[in-house]
Amino acid sequence: MELTAQAIFTGLLMGGFYGLVAVGLALVFGTMKVINLAHGELVLLAAYIAYAVESQTGINPLLAMPIAMAVVIAASLITFYLTNKIKKDRELNSLILTFGLGIVLTNGLLMVFSADIYSTQSAWFMEGLVIADSLFSMRSEMLAFVVGLCALGGLYWWLNHTWHGRAIRSVSSNRDAAKLMGMNPTKAELWSWAIAGVLAALAGVMLYVTSVIHPPIGHSLTIKAFIITVLAGMGSIPGVLVGALMIGVIEGLTTTFFQSSLSELASMTVFLLVLLVMPSGLFGKKAGH
């Protein structure tokens, strides 16, 4: 029983981080119906910025957050600008464009940082925490979980209680109707990409302090974010949280009781089963509703 509880607890912590990784992709897709296949590389870019700041200055990598945000937001807005130039078959052509941008970012990181594996040198993040005398985690895992929940909660509040947030929701729901109401869809989309950049930067710094980084994992992060976004129901923030926690727990249980190499297979199997039963995702709306 204790082993099962620990596996579930570890999975929940992992799921909170997964939600942070996925929510930026979900936000952009909900607004523009564009899947940014370079999203994982943007997350990884922020992680490498945290590494560069820590390795060059010796300061806490969390202090690299403003630099990471500035760089990743700029990269996200450049991606938006290029994507927005596509006028024909934007859904398909944007996939090709962002996939290419992801390859460019990956190879750029390889050129600058090589293929070596890096992790934080701060011992504080690696120290253990004990919850309820029986559940264990690293400080960094708990930090990433809390940051993920706060980011998801903050984004949900912003989308529902601010003018810009409601504008993004309006454009996501019906672009033409939003125009008739006097909203500028392009500005709303610009905001969504900027916020996605902020979220990717947060996720990247959390990735660096909780795990190891190397250039190829950007693609894996994109796939994970895409799975959670589809599982959630396109653009649903609560769905992203539930989907991410579900995937995290499944991987935690699989790693504990079977093999870590099977965790991806297990999460993908559950993902496909859920979509067979609920094609619109956990929180998605059925066509025509």
Tell me the pTM. Answer: 0.91
Q: How far apart are CA 27 and CA 34, in angstroms?
A: 10
pLDDT tens for 93-106 read 889 999 999 999 99
pLDDT tens by residue, 21-71: 999 999 988 877 888 999 999 999 999 999 999 999 989 999 999 999 999
Looking at residue 167, what is its pLDDT?
A: 81
- In percent, the amount of the chain with pLDDT more than 70 equals 96
Please give the CATH number for the structural domain made up of 2-277. Answer: 1.10.3470
The domain limits of the chain are 2-277
- Which of left, alpha, beta for 182 (phi over 0: left; psi -120 to 50: alpha)? left
Strands 128-131, 135-138: pairing kind: antiparallel
First to last CA, the chain: 43
pLDDT attached to residue 285: 60
R_g over Cα of the chain: 19
